[in-house]
A and B are shown apart, each in its own frame.
Chain A
């Protein structure tokens, strides 16, 4: 009566084929995810090139700006959203890759710019109110940045042949008119060009200008001129923003941290694999396979939904592999018990999975509760960690309950290892 169920004709060869096939799929997928693959014009990138890395790994500048409430001028949603759009335009002017600009809470804006090292330059570009004013000698504001249609940084050669960087301005219709009026009024006098109240250029009016163009000189170099042109083009921020959190991470530090974490993680995971193999033998071997599937699925999801991997995120991934073992351990311990009370191998495996389900499910729900709270209330890196935790929990349940189960049954059906001692009895 022992193992009656598994003596069905054909099951053995069918299981062997299935098992070998799955092994091949796992091996192939692992290979593709590590090395990438190119078939004709289609190319699959290695997974390490396909995920986003956080600032703590790539290096860059991270800034949180807080909108300051002015008297009688409250901070509104509309203003914050407009400020975000302006900051976006300004950063685009810098030509950096993939900046993230997002609202945080009521009155804050979070900006992260990868590959940027100069904190001061970053703040100059994103935090400046950039209210441009043309002020006459009598203190009258004749024109503001709102009337500027276009602004560019160019090189200009003066009469002596010296080349210098300048910012050119083109006004809109109303601006052209106002500028012509002002230059007529203040001929042979100075019109100051002020940025946020600070004089950046003070040219003397030679003649009435009707063409609607002006030039700001006195730039140290073309970069400075470029930044100013971008600021003016994007327009003034509707609120004053104050940096409340500024972090700069150099590129070497992040790279070094990532390499070390990968080595540490690899050693840790190998130890876990070895432990499972030696302690649980056949089921342990199957669990190791399921864990590989777990890791592959995790990275697949990361690259599909574009999870940003940060250092705590890496720790979270390693941790989740350790935890993914848990469901397997619960099941195998249960199988052992069932074998001990005299059940056949097949029956023990079946009831092992069946009886273990409720505790795996309830246990994982509590982890999900903690993860959701983290996601809802945490910010930045904490949120990123919560996402990896939630994805990991969902996938680990799937791999333990289906992948481990099917592989284990197939392996048993192959009848290579029949002695229940190797299954924990």
Chain B
């Protein structure tokens, strides 16, 4: 016989752990906020292949004539690429004249201007509002669907686990100051879909097992269901992580922007599915049964 873990019995431990985690995440979000990137804040990013390592002081000599508060960072495998990030949007003429100064000084070709991006601040604001709207609508629709297919308490527990995962990702981004851009939003909505997917498998099992257990066996029902579906939850998460971590390690910036939140979200999702969602359902269901009795 397979070994059975007493997960529901140790629920207090996991509740406390998650509560502390949530407090830290929300605290950091309130204090530090998020480090919004160009997609939200507006500004200009210019990426140039320099074919050599360079000192930021030399770069500043040129960039200061355009924007003294510009951020200068390194990029590329051998750190030979230059990223210039300004808060104020530079116009096309400015971008052109900035690059031509680099061309002169470092003897660069036209194609060495790897990319340039310019976003106005108003677009960023709209994008933020739209992203929040999208998340709220998605959560509500999922809640309605689970209520329709299962019952409200399952839906509520799944959404709670989901909130746990989203806050964990936001918190990690806030604590480590990772830049938030539009791929992040796509990632959050993906987590939103898959976190619930994960939870539903357990709830589906509880729904099925209910026929086999007595009402008084609520604890056994929940704990057995979690144990029966745990292998699947871990293996699926493992497969997804194997696939996306390999991609992450290849070091393509815009892919990393998308995958990093997914990695955090999937780990949190697997954890919250096994240790939080059904434990919470169990506690609430027990209260409900006690009230009825």
Contact B133 A377 (CB under 8 A): yes
Contact B197 A363 (CB under 8 A): yes
Contact A366 B242 (CB under 8 A): no
B residues less than 8 Å from A249 (CB atoms):
114-115
A residues less than 8 Å from B96 (CB atoms):
119-120
Contact A318 B252 (CB under 8 A): no
B residues less than 8 Å from A245 (CB atoms):
118-120, 123
A359 is contacted by which of B115, B119, B201 (Cβ under 8 Å)? B201
Q: Is A367 an interface residue (CB 8 A)?
A: yes
Q: CA–CA, A257 to B262, complex, Å?
A: 19
Interface membership of chain B positions 77-118, coded 1 if the CB is closer than 8 angstroms to chain A and 0 otherwise: 000000000000000110110000000000000111111111
CB distance from B36 to the nearest CB of A (A): 15
Contact B204 A315 (CB under 8 A): no
Segment touching A, from B55-63, B64-72, B233-241: B233-241
Contact B115 A253 (CB under 8 A): yes
Contact A359 B252 (CB under 8 A): no
Name A381-405 residues within 8 Å CB distance of B.
381-382, 385-386, 389
Contact B116 A119 (CB under 8 A): yes
Interface of A is mostly: helix
Q: Is A265 an interface residue (CB 8 A)?
A: yes
CB distance from B37 to the nearest CB of A (A): 13
Q: CA–CA, A369 to B229, complex, Å?
A: 23
Contact A257 B255 (CB under 8 A): yes
A residues less than 8 Å from B231 (CB atoms):
333
Name B156-182 residues within 8 Å CB distance of A.
182
Contact B141 A268 (CB under 8 A): no
Contact A275 B238 (CB under 8 A): yes
CB distance from A317 to the nearest CB of B (A): 10
Contact B247 A358 (CB under 8 A): no
B residues less than 8 Å from A265 (CB atoms):
243, 246-247
Q: CA–CA, A60 to B247, complex, Å?
A: 24
Question: Assuming the A-B contacts A117-B111, A248-B116, A385-B186, are A264 and B242 also in contact, with contact meaning beta carbons closer than 8 angstroms in the complex?
Answer: no
Question: Assuming the A-B contacts A275-B238, A315-B259, A355-B208, are A250 and B120 also in contact, with contact meaning beta carbons closer than 8 angstroms in the complex?
Answer: no
- Most chain A beta-carbon contacts within 10 A, residue among B93, B146, B189: B189
Q: CA–CA, A266 to B102, complex, Å?
A: 38
Contact B236 A312 (CB under 8 A): no
Contact A369 B235 (CB under 8 A): no
A275 is contacted by which of B112, B113, B239, B259 (Cβ under 8 Å)? B239
B residues less than 8 Å from A312 (CB atoms):
183, 186, 254-255, 258
Question: Assuming the A-B contacts A260-B250, A271-B243, A377-B130, are A362 and B149 also in contact, with contact meaning beta carbons closer than 8 angstroms in the complex?
Answer: yes
Contact A319 B240 (CB under 8 A): yes
Q: CA–CA, A337 to B2, complex, Å?
A: 10
Contact A253 B250 (CB under 8 A): no
B residues less than 8 Å from A248 (CB atoms):
113, 115-117
Segment touching B, from A10-18, A205-213, A320-328: A320-328
Contact A381 B182 (CB under 8 A): yes
A residues less than 8 Å from B232 (CB atoms):
326, 329-330, 333
- Most chain A beta-carbon contacts within 10 A, residue among B134, B137, B190, B250: B190
Name A293-334 residues within 8 Å CB distance of B.
311-312, 314-316, 318-319, 321-323, 325-326, 329-330, 333
Question: Assuming the A-B contacts A267-B246, A311-B255, A359-B200, are A119 and B92 also in contact, with contact meaning beta carbons closer than 8 angstroms in the complex?
Answer: yes
Q: CA–CA, A241 to B201, complex, Å?
A: 51
Q: Is A133 an interface residue (CB 8 A)?
A: no
Q: CA–CA, A364 to B141, complex, Å?
A: 14
Contact A311 B193 (CB under 8 A): no
B197 is contacted by which of A251, A366, A373, A382 (Cβ under 8 Å)? A366
Contact B200 A272 (CB under 8 A): no
Question: Assuming the A-B contacts A246-B92, A315-B258, are A272 and B242 also in contact, with contact meaning beta carbons closer than 8 angstroms in the complex?
Answer: yes
A residues less than 8 Å from B274 (CB atoms):
none
CB distance from B4 to the nearest CB of A (A): 13
A residues less than 8 Å from B49 (CB atoms):
252
Q: Which residue of A lies closest to B208 (CB)?
A: A355
Q: Is A276 an interface residue (CB 8 A)?
A: yes
Q: CA–CA, A366 to B150, complex, Å?
A: 13
Interface membership of chain B positions 255-267, coded 1 if the CB is closer than 8 angstroms to chain A and 0 otherwise: 1001100100000
Q: Is B194 an interface residue (CB 8 A)?
A: yes
Q: Is B128 an interface residue (CB 8 A)?
A: no
Interface membership of chain B positions 175-215, coded 1 if the CB is closer than 8 angstroms to chain A and 0 otherwise: 00000001101100110111011101100110010000000
Q: Is A412 an interface residue (CB 8 A)?
A: no
Contact A330 B201 (CB under 8 A): yes
Question: Assuming the A-B contacts A377-B133, A385-B186, are A326 and B193 also in contact, with contact meaning beta carbons closer than 8 angstroms in the complex?
Answer: no
Q: CA–CA, A271 to B247, complex, Å?
A: 12
Q: Which residue of A lies closest to B256 (CB)?
A: A315
CB distance from A342 to the nearest CB of B (A): 13
**Can you pick out 23 interface pairs between chain A and chain B where the beta carbons lie within 8 Å of each other?**
A56-B254, A64-B123, A117-B111, A123-B92, A244-B122, A249-B114, A250-B112, A250-B115, A251-B111, A253-B115, A264-B249, A264-B252, A312-B183, A319-B244, A322-B240, A326-B240, A333-B231, A355-B208, A359-B201, A363-B200, A373-B137, A373-B189, A374-B134
Besides the contacts A261-B255, A370-B142, what 8 more A-B pairs have beta carbons closer than 8 Å?
A119-B96, A249-B115, A268-B245, A312-B183, A312-B186, A325-B239, A330-B201, A381-B182
